Amino acid sequence: MLLKSALHNFSQSVLDLTYYQECSLASTEFTDTSSLDVIVGIIHTLSLPAQLCGPPGGLACLLGTELLECLYWRVGAMLYMYCYSVYEKEERRKNMDTEMFLKVSDILHCLHFISYAP
């Protein structure tokens, strides 16, 4: 019970911290050149609670379905906001390079830890 409570509190702290970082990025429309690196870092941080729980599948009983869904949703929202802001402006689309696509593999790795079987 103590472990579950500690994990829940840690997860809430991660959500609070990353929310602040997400808002800072979104307010500048991800125009900083390091935005994608920051996003990868945020997504990695959001995956930490799930990584601490072990392999996918047993997470719902430790974190709770609601908290796990919130972590997963926040990763998706972060990716959506970034992609929307990049593709919205033609000049930013033209400047995209393979580095962005390579970072997607890092993001997918983090998603693997957060995903679970309902």
**pLDDT digit string (tens) for 33-56?**
788 888 888 988 888 887 777 665
Q: How far apart are CA 112 and CA 56, in angstroms?
A: 8
Mean pLDDT of 64-91: 81
Helix H or strand E segment including 108: helix 98-114
Q: Residue 98 has which token pair?
A: 């393979």
Put simply, whether the predicted model's pTM sits higher than 0.85 gets the answer no
Q: Which residues span the domain enclosing 107?
A: 2-114
Q: How many domains does the chain have?
A: 1
Extended strands (E) in 35-86: none
